[in-house]
Amino acid sequence: MSPYDPRPEGLNTQPAPPSAPPQIGANDELAKMTRMFGAAYADLGLINEALDLDPDDGGAEPILEAIAELKAQVPQWIPVSEQLPEPEIDVLVRKQWGEAVYHDVAGLFHGEWESQVSQDGCKHTVTHWMPLPVDPHEEQNNG
């Protein structure tokens, strides 16, 4: 049995026969909690295996560190009030016009936002931006 097997020894995981009336009580609640714990334990095992972590080395810290590393890799929206992108580099932008919100690919050219997608010339107010992901063709050539 795997150390991540969700069925603790001695737990009857077979469903009750159809003719048995449902029973509500402390034992049912305990059985429900035991199943939930077993499922969570199994999921934790899958996470450890997927991240190639030793569950006996550091408790949850390696998982939390791996999650933090993954979060750091995800691009975040950057308010234009805090930072502008490099000139002449296309980025994903969030534009607003009144209550309406749009997304576009645009860049700063000669100090003005120029859209690469929409016909409006990026006349809406750009509020945020984030880098575009790497083009798959570039990834293949560089990878």
Cα gap 12→75, rounded to integer Å: 47
Percentage of residues in the chain having pLDDT higher than 70: 71
Render each residue's pLDDT in the chain as its tens digit; 143 residues.
445 545 555 544 555 555 555 555 667 878 888 888 888 877 777 777 777 777 677 666 777 787 888 888 888 899 999 999 999 999 999 988 888 898 889 999 988 888 877 665 556 789 999 999 888 887 666 65
Q: What is the DSSP string of 73-117?
A: HS---EETTT--PPTT--EEEEEEETTEEEEEEEEEETTEEEESS
User: For residue 85, what pLDDT is reported?
Assistant: 95
Decide if 66 contacts 53 (C-beta within 8 A).
yes
Cα gap 59→55, rounded to integer Å: 6
Cα gap 72→75, rounded to integer Å: 8
pTM for the model stands at 0.50
User: For residue 2, what pLDDT is reported?
Assistant: 47
User: For residue 29, what pLDDT is reported?
Assistant: 78
User: For residue 25, what pLDDT is reported?
Assistant: 65
User: For residue 1, what pLDDT is reported?
Assistant: 45
User: For residue 88, what pLDDT is reported?
Assistant: 92
